[in-house]
Structure 1
Amino acid sequence: MRLHSLTMTAFGPFAGTQSVDFDALASGGLFLLRGATGAGKSSVLDAVCYALYGAVPGQRPRTRLRSDHASAEVRTEVRLELTLGGRRLELTRSPEQTRAKKRGSGSTVEKAQTLLREWSAEPGGEPGWRPSSKSHQEVGAEVQQLLGMSREQFCQVVLLPQGEFARFLHASAPDRADLLGRLFDTARFGAVEAWLTERRQQTEKACQAVLGEVGARLERLRQAAGTDSPPPAAPEQDALGWAAQLRVRAREEQAVAECRQQGAEQRRALAEARAREVEVIADRQRRHRRAVQRAGDLDQRAEQQRAATVRLERAQRAEAVVPLLRLHREAAQAQARFAEQERRSRAALPAVHAAAGLDELVAAERQRREELGGLRTLLAAEQQHRGNERMRWQLEAEREDAETERAEAEQWLAVDWPDQRERTAAALDQAVQAAVRADQLDEQQREARRRGAAAEQAEALQARLADSRQRELRLREAAAAAHEDWLDLRERRLQGMAAELAEGLADGRACPVCGSGEHPAPARPGPGRVTVEQEQRAEQGYRQAALRTEQAAAELGQLEQEAAALAAVAGDGGAAELRALVQRLEAEHQQARRVAAQAIGAREQLDRLEHEQGLRTAAAGQAAELVAARTARLEALALEQGRLAEELERGRSGAASVADRVGQLTPLTERLGEAVAAVREAAAGAEALARAARELREAAEREGFGDAEQAARAALPPHETASLRAEVQRHRDELAQVGAELADPDLLAAVRLPPADPAADRAVLAGADAALRSAYAAVQGARERCAALDRLSAGLHAELRRLAPLAADHRRVSELAFLASGTSSSNSLRMSLETYVLAARLEQVAEAAGARLQVMSQGRYTLAHNDARSRGAGRSGLGLSVLDGWTGRSRDTSTLSGGESFFASLALALGLADVVTDEAGGMPLDTLFIDEGFGSLDEDTLEDVLDVLDRLRERDRAVGIVSHVGDLRGRIPVQLEVRKGRDGSTLHQHGTG
């Protein structure tokens, strides 16, 4: 942000129009705003703040901005021209004010006005101010967006108001928190604290809701248990125990019912046993009668069953021989197959191994496999040898590339770099000088346009002046003629007044002139009589003509004043001459801008060259290191290749490569292995065939057959054997069953008893069943109550499980809320979240301010952030202390003297300005004001403070000091003086050329 000019009219102590040329004041970097106490030095800063934000620093109302010395017809207005974000802007503001009505008496209120204009110099268009907005809200939003800071931040960072930064140095923690919160917009962290508090309340409500559901479930448990015992007062702690007691009581009642059920079951069991015993006796008597009948039937089929038994036995003996006969046939087929395989395997071997025995073949195979194992070990060495060759080619190529790169870098550093840097630096200097010249031409061009516009308006106004003079003269002549007509009619009416009075006379009525009641000769009206209405119309015409003359004279006077003001602005030159001057300045300005526009490219080119110089230097060093590394690697690789070549030569045994040698041995080794396997399988097959023949012969003899073929003929199909075996077994089982039943002592005893009648015992059993059902219903009721209690207890347990995370969440959120608000016991410093963020900002401010304070205090003092816990109920984290380099101890800021307190406060304010500027996005602040406080400094300290302020001018920054200290007048030649008087204050610039 750079200020260019400020114009104030009827503002504060300034009755008329006063202007400030900040470009001229900023030419020296440091300027002094001085004046007597109450002259209005701070009002200049108020005007800057009002133009930007529509309000002045502090809490003063806008209605008090108007000067008490100003005339009623002069309107209060502030116009500020500045550059923001690369845009040339003009802000004009007028507060709400009261003025006299243009017609009639009384006063009216004019609303506040705001106008934002932007300078436009687009190619092909007419340069000039273009209106941007008239809305207070739009202008305020755009200015704040461009500045990146609010009014409070601007007043604390740019205007550094009198006493404000000293107040911040000695402020309490709440006051510092309030100021820092407004500067750094930490309300969002306060919102986090509020959110946590709200979240704590929400979790508490959620817990209460679940507790309500737990209470309802406890009441349902009480109802299901049928008890009058009240639920526990602390359900989250005792609910499960109380529910367990109810379940235990219900289970005891269930146990009693089950005991009663068991008694009923025993009684029923006795009745059932008696009924079953009678049924058993009756059944045994029936079974004995059936067994006698079945024994007669089995005796009739005895001969048929004996023949079937003999046939089944021969078939069963043949079953032990038939499987061995099948195995003998299979062994014979396998031995023939193995013999053929051995023949083919021996045919595939070389002649030296074709007729060899099994041991010779096994030894030959083992020898070839051992040789292959050694060769396969060398395969990796052969691959490594080839890879080393490829690596050697690659290393040699990399070494050549590195040598080339090093030569190119050294050539560029020695020849190209000095020449290009010199040319680019010269172009940059030329562009910087052109930029300075362009700024000067811009101001000259703006002044020439203003004068040219005034000259053109003055010339255009001359024709209106001539017309206005002619009109005023005509109206004046018409008014004089109307006046003469009115006077003439008045004189004529006076002359005929007797006749006018005579018209009202009557006999007996007193004359209004002489009082006589007789009128012997009343006057008679003559020709051309003038009436009262004619005289009044003539007077009214004269009054209107006089009023028009006065209005025309006022308009003529206003035009003459405007012409005089325009002539004063235009000066001696005419409009054509000034237009030519504007064109010439515009051409020079465009040329300077074109040259100045090359500054960015030249600076970027210089940066690129310096960056490339660093890269080339590093590349040359890296290339040299790479050449040395690749040379050493090539030497080590040559030694390794020699060793590998000797090992491979021994392993190849005359072959082209180890892989070829492996390819030669592998098929022969595989054929030897196949031959060994075939010989072994043929020998095993012959042995298996002999063993099968022997076992088949022995089995036939053992089972009583002459040979295996006889046994094969005695064998039966499996289904026929199974059917025959089942039939024989079934006959045997029936014989055994009938014999057992006829010999069963129980059946024999039952036959000796009288015939049984089970009907009476079944009636007794029915009565026992009814008693058992009643007992069972009681047990079921008890079980259902237990099940209901289990189900409700499970629901209670689920609710308590649901309550547990909610309660844990509530505890966690409560702890976070109390921690963020600084009321938690875990927060040892009692520092809220927003205060913690502000403490971090204050720490940055203290660090930035400490460097400047060291210079101002000649290395004695520096500022430090203090987060020690405050006493009592106060919050901590926003403390400041001063480190005294002479004593090595920390001091409270309240122990500083007046002068020490001033420059410590100034350092703190400048540090605060730096941090807020960075927070606002790094908007460059090219104009800075410091209001008062230098009178408390001695000469040496004042020199140190001015040295720090002088450093602020770096990067083309202008610093304005607002002070009435006399020593500063000789130290700072560029000054803006405010002089006060009875008719208001005025501004005067000194040392600006």
Structure 2
Amino acid sequence: MRLHRLTITAFGPFADTQEVDFDALCAGGIFLLHGATGAGKTSVLDAVCYALYDAVPGARQIKGGATKDASLRSDHADASTYTEVCLELTVGGRRLEITRSPAQTRPKKRGTGVTVEKARSGLREHDPAGGDWRALSRSHQEIGEEIGQLLGMSREQFCQVVLLPQGDFARFLRADAEARGRLLGRLFDTRRFAAVEERLAELRRGAEQGVREGDQRLLDIGQRIAGAARGGIEQPLPARQPGDPGLAPAVLEWAAVARSTAHEHRDIAESALAAAESRQAAARRLLDDARELARLQERFAEGRRRADALEARRPEYEAARTRLERARKADRVAPALTLRDDAERAHRTAAAGLDRARSLLPAELTDTGADHLSALERKMLEELGRVDAARGAERRSAEISRERAELDRQARADEELLADAAGWLTGWEAARRAHQERVETSQEAVTRAEQLAGQLEPARAQLEAARARDALDARAAASQRLLNTARERANDAKETWLDLRERRLRGIAAELAARLVAGEPCAVCGSADHPAPARAGAGQVDQASEDAAFAASRRAEAAVTEAERDHASVREEYAAARSAAGGSTVAELVALTERLGREHTAAHRLAAGTHAAREALARAEREREDRLTAQRSAENRVAARTSRREALDHEQTGLESDLVRARGDAATVAEHAARLTKRARLLAEAAHAVRDFDATAQRLKDADGRLADAAFRAGFETPREAAAALLSGPEQRGLTHRMDDWQAEAATVADRLAEQDARDAAQAPPARLDTALMSYEGAETALRAASSALTGARERGGELARLSRRAEEEVRRLGPLRTEYARVARLAALTAGTSTDNDRKMRLESYVLAARLEQVAEAATARLLHMSSGRYTLVHSDARSGGGKRSGLGLHVVDSWTGSERDTATLSGGETFFVSLALALGLADVVTDEAGGARLDTLFIDEGFGSLDDQTLDEVLDVLDSLRERDRSVGIVSHVADLRRRIPTQLEVTKSRRGSTVSLRTGGADG
């Protein structure tokens, strides 16, 4: 990686755009970056790191997104100047340009206030063939991945091997193994080895957990075996804990004893069950014999009871048989009885109909025969035919009457319409003039409303401006007072800070002396001896007091800036409001606005009726036309109606003479026809009723003769006697069933009493069923108890056998787990440095880092020998530290003058610097190779040269100058005055109140 050009704008202490030409600086191999304290030397390196990684080195990184971005921006820069860093470099054979801008605020282009600009990044590549630049990406993520792949190292590695912060390496030389391990772990990325350690530890914990869970399951099975044995074993379950190697054999042995004891209990239960079954079978036979004897005795006794009951029911049987025989004879007379009943019902119905028909006839026709009634009916029908012809004339006369009534109604309506139209048309001219005047008034109001609207809006705007002018006048006076107060406070705070700073500088020696520690080198002179440290005087000012005063001064200046901004904003608003308001007062403008508003409202109200007035005029004109048309139509209808009325009168006069003859004594022809129709219907019904009565009387007489003959042939004295003997079908079937039941019961009882075994049992003594039942129940209870005991013994044995098999399976499954746990635990302890086989208590990651540290020591020794004139050599040590601490990352220096080897923490201040410089250069070579071998052509060394004497400084510069053999350039960041004489190529950073600037000097000439 070679740097070519760096452009910085509004970054850190640099307010304006500053450009650093690294090609000119690196031409001599070594260049010096110097300037006063706080000028911004380190900010140049921060800008390089920010351009590459979008972040500054970790020691100066501020947590929190917005705070971090704000910390990059220069406090001296103008608000409209954007913070930007642009770096041009060659890496991986490609010439690239990286541009970065953090998130920042800027004034709004319109209005007041500020807006936030998002962070931006850009990557371009130079095309050697075409000579122009080609854009590659504007994505933060893509640019970060591209640069990371080309450099092959992280930001932490870059800051460690390119910027070479000497203070960090001085602490590295004095640090213990743990601190060195943390630094080397970040540089060489040994997280995978730490991950191996953690993975083995996890596997060990998992295997141990698996073994413990398996032992717990084995113990649970043993407890279940104890529960299944239920006191059958006198020896208790062995007391073991999970993880005990003897747990499995003890549980298996105890399970075998439980199984054998269960087998013995099962054999005893089987013998007891066989004896109980024999006793139960004998009791069962005795119970069955007693039950059979009791059954036969009861059967014979029941037969005797049923025979007695049957004999008692014999009279009932005989009566039913006699009744059934008479009913079957009466069945032969039933058809004649049915025929006679039907004839009697028909005759009664005909007689009732005849009575109803005669009651509707006149008295002189009540005894008239059917033929005479039919003749009268035909005479009525002939007269009805003559009357029907006159019905049409009657209907036409009624239609004429209705039509004349409708003509009269229309005549009255037309008369009213003509009177209304004449009255309305009389006042038409006056109404038309009123509508026309209303339309003209509304149109004039429209014009007036438009004129007033044009005057009202400017008046309102002027009123608002006047009000704002008066309010802003008071605000301007208040902001001026606040600004004066803020300026006074800022001047007081700055004077206080300058006074404290001057007092602290006068007593800075005492402050530095307070930090001295006996035996440790001085940060100023590098000596470990402190013979006469300075003492603090009265009123000594420490750094915290100065920093607090400086912060208060900065806050006061910020408050002045804010007050000036607010005051300027108020003054601008006041000037704009004053210009818009003119010279009128608020009261005058309020009166003007209200007057214009009232006039505009009135004009607008009148103007709103323009459309309605025009519509009203149009409607009135349309109504006039409609009324004229209706008047002419009504006059035409009156003339036509007179002719029609005369024709109707003539037609109705002719119809009335015929209708008088057709109506007779009735009011209408229809009424006369209804009377004739009713009389004809009554005569027809009476004739039909007389004929039905005569026919049913003859039918009843014939049915009586046939019934008497049928009853005599069936053997009955009278038809009434036959009717009394009749039974319905269900009644006859009921008698038949009762007789069949009696006969079946008689046969069953005879068979029962004829059984020989029942007759013999009846002669024997009564059966003793209770005694046999008690004996059987006792034997049955004993059998169930024996069977339950055997079932329990078998289940217990089966459960113990199943649990024993589970215990054996668990023991077999635990075997490989125990083996795996032993192997993994040994590996985990070995890599963690806790195993007895690891004599030096060295972790796996420490072992890998020790190899890297050994490479770093070898690379650093090559330069350290030159810097120390062959005296010192760096060696790696894996000896264990005191206090039981782990080993592997020890670093010793060998002094060839004395032949002794000692820890690097014992080096003096000057020795610590050039040893740490050699270590940093060696580490840069090793890390570069480890990160992928990316070539690093530019290195920076930050401070520490003030602790070297002239000879050592020459030797160190010779070593740095030798780096040019590998085409490298080294930038030294220091304010040591002697280096300015020794190194001709310089980049000077100068600070001022308006921000820092950079200038290039080569060979004493300014650039």
Give the structure-1-normalised TM-score. Answer: 0.46
Q: Which has the larger radius of gyration?
A: 2
